[in-house]
Amino acid sequence: QLDKIKERDPEYHCYITVSEEEAYKQADEVQARIDSGDLQGAHLAGVPMAVKDNICTEGIKTTCASKILSNFVPTYDATVIEKLKKSGAIILGKTNMDEFAMGSTTETSYYGEAKNPWNKKHVTGGSSGGSAAAVAAEEAFYALGSDTGGSIRQPASYCGVTGIKPTYGTVSRYGLIAYASSLDQIGTIGRNISDCAASLEVISGHDRKDATSIDQKSYEYTHALIDNVKGLKIGVPSDYFDDGLDEEVKDSLFKAMEVFRRKGAIVEEFELHSVKYAIPSYYVIACAEASSNLSRFDGVKYGYRTPNYEGLQEVYKNTRSEGFGDEVKRRMMIGAFVLSSGYYDAFYNKALKVRAIINQSFQKAFDRYDIILGPTAPTTAPVLGSSLADPLKMYLSDIYTVSVNLAGLPSVSLPCGRDSKGLPIGMQLTGKHFGEKDIIRAAYSYE
């Protein structure tokens, strides 16, 4: 695997840090544990994998693809990393991403963009673009990503791999560098749903170090790898099929719906209504939380500090001006604005109300359906550079993914075809709260 990284990563730039020495050390330790019988039943023992660079790894640089954390080496492991190590995983390195997970293309990375392994002129998607591309380019067997508004599902869709975001509270966020805490959730990206389910099983579980972590009865996702969707009720929001949706993506989805029907599922169209409110509400809430979360990067406690200062005010100001990229600054300014006393009710409070409405419309849909099926993204991977020129267009491309985070639901993206350029198309299956097993079963049956 490390050889493949050496051969391919100069082309695709999936990794920010390759921790070769650590990986060999871990491999030796895991071998010893396997020999002593300590890892019996640990399916993923010895399997090399990659971690998004916003998840803290003890002794390995964790940059969030930002200049401001370019020298940050955590002194502790995130809970997910602890769990992975315990089950014998081998961490190859830290993957490229949009700076602080803000973006949909992995082009806002301070370390330079990642490239789509299916066509290097196109983006990988984002923000977990490095993780998805690493799996697609066989530079890792599976990878961790984080998903605030689609950052696992959308790059998985663009790179032709599978990605799952579990129900909010299923995976501990302890050690995940926060973007928007009420939306962020760690999940896994793999070559198929079996790999995603197996790795999700390892990292899930209640954690006292994360106040939003929820104790659940069963985390045995691999038990849902069953090829049977007879009688499963699948709803498809007809509001998803408007002008913004690419024709080739639409065709692939209709074919996928037919596959499910043939296998005995009940597939019906219905109106979700709330779709058009998702983007504005998401961007108000995400930016508000980001402006608060990112205030901790001030050049004093850790990370980059400007060499140009006289006095404390200048330390803050120059560190932040020099340390953050344009997209991050844009969002912090939007966030500070919508939270300011004069505009709080007009924007932030309104967005919270809309969030409640979106939640209700999903609840209503789940009274009738087990699963909601739709596209992951309106198009296949755009050409590199095209989104940076038009951030609003980039925001709008999150239309199908963000409402799932606003409602805290589990959701998976899996490949369902190719466009005429050969680029992968993804479909998104969303379940009820804690309905991971439904979407895993459906994805497995489809595969």
Point out which span in 29-37, 142-150, 333-341, 376-384 binds ligand GLN (CB under 6 A): 142-150
- Token pair 């993914």 is found at 401
Q: Is 127 a catalytic residue?
A: yes
- What would the two tokens of residue 285 be? 């809430």
What is the Cα Rg of the chain in Å? 21
Q: How many residues bind ligand GLN (CB under 6 A)?
A: 13
- Token pair 């899996």 is found at 414
Query: Is residue 53 part of the contact set for ligand GLN (CB under 6 A)?
Result: no
- Please answer whether residues 426 and 415 qualify as being in contact, where contact means their C-beta atoms are separated by less than 8 angstroms: yes
d(CA 66, CA 303): 10
Question: Closest distance between ligand GLN and the C-beta of residue 131, in Å?
Answer: 12
Binding mask 272-301 for ligand GLN (x = CB under 6 A): --------------x---------------
Q: Quick one: 66 or 148, whose CB is closer to ligand GLN?
A: 148
Q: Is 151 a catalytic residue?
A: yes
Q: Quick one: 160 or 163, whose CB is closer to ligand GLN?
A: 163
Secondary structure, 3-state, 235-253: EEEHHHCCCCCCHHHHHHH
Distances (CA, A) of 220 to 136, 144, 199, 299, 360: 26, 18, 11, 43, 28
Please give the residue whose beta carbon sits closest to ligand GLN in the complex: 151
Burial 225-250 (b: 16+ CB within 10 A, else e): beeebeebebbbbeebbeeebeebbe
Query: Is residue 150 part of the contact set for ligand GLN (CB under 6 A)?
Result: yes
Q: Which residues contact 23 (CB under 8 A, 6 or more apart)?
A: 2, 48, 90, 91, 92, 93
Query: Is residue 413 part of the contact set for ligand GLN (CB under 6 A)?
Result: no
- Please answer whether residues 149 and 398 qualify as being in contact, where contact means their C-beta atoms are separated by less than 8 angstroms: yes
DSSP string covering 147-158 = -SSSTTHHHHHH
Bridge partners of 245, per DSSP, are none
Q: Using CB under 6 A, pick the residue from 88, 103, 160, 299 that binds ligand GLN.
A: 103
Point out which span in 15-23, 141-149, 203-211, 236-244 binds ligand GLN (CB under 6 A): 141-149
- What would the two tokens of residue 72 be? 């940050």
Question: Closest distance between ligand GLN and the C-beta of residue 214, in Å?
Answer: 20
Query: Is residue 148 part of the contact set for ligand GLN (CB under 6 A)?
Result: yes
Question: Closest distance between ligand GLN and the C-beta of residue 275, in Å?
Answer: 16
Question: Closest distance between ligand GLN and the C-beta of residue 88, in Å?
Answer: 29
Number of C-beta neighbours around residue 378 at 10 A: 18
Q: Using CB under 6 A, pick the residue from 57, 127, 188, 291 that binds ligand GLN.
A: 127
Q: Quick one: 149 or 160, whose CB is closer to ligand GLN?
A: 149
Point out which span in 102-110, 135-143, 194-202, 357-365 binds ligand GLN (CB under 6 A): 102-110
Q: Quick one: 150 or 382, whose CB is closer to ligand GLN?
A: 150
Q: Which of residues 175-204 bind ligand GLN (CB under 6 A)?
A: 179
Distances (CA, A) of 408 to 26, 170, 362, 402, 403: 34, 10, 10, 10, 8
- Please answer whether residues 302 and 72 qualify as being in contact, where contact means their C-beta atoms are separated by less than 8 angstroms: yes
d(CA 317, CA 320): 5
Q: Which of residues 352-381 bind ligand GLN (CB under 6 A)?
A: none
- Please answer whether residues 420 and 119 qualify as being in contact, where contact means their C-beta atoms are separated by less than 8 angstroms: no
Question: Closest distance between ligand GLN and the C-beta of residue 81, in Å?
Answer: 19
Catalytic residue among 151, 194, 204, 213: 151
Query: Is residue 104 part of the contact set for ligand GLN (CB under 6 A)?
Result: yes
Q: Using CB under 6 A, pick the residue from 139, 147, 298, 438 that binds ligand GLN.
A: 147
Query: Is residue 151 part of the contact set for ligand GLN (CB under 6 A)?
Result: yes
Q: Is 250 a catalytic residue?
A: no
Point out which span in 135-143, 145-153, 221-229, 308-316 binds ligand GLN (CB under 6 A): 145-153
- What would the two tokens of residue 266 be? 């009940």
Q: Are strands 142-146 and 48-52 parallel, antiparallel or unpaired?
A: parallel
Q: Quick one: 101 or 275, whose CB is closer to ligand GLN?
A: 101
Q: Using CB under 6 A, pick the residue from 77, 398, 436, 438 that binds ligand GLN.
A: 398
d(CA 355, CA 99): 25
Catalytic residue among 66, 104, 127, 157: 127
Question: Closest distance between ligand GLN and the C-beta of residue 124, in Å?
Answer: 13
Query: Is residue 108 part of the contact set for ligand GLN (CB under 6 A)?
Result: no
Query: Is residue 48 part of the contact set for ligand GLN (CB under 6 A)?
Result: no
Q: Which residues bind ligand GLN (CB under 6 A)?
A: 101-104, 127, 147-151, 179, 286, 398
Q: Which residues are catalytic?
A: 52, 127, 151
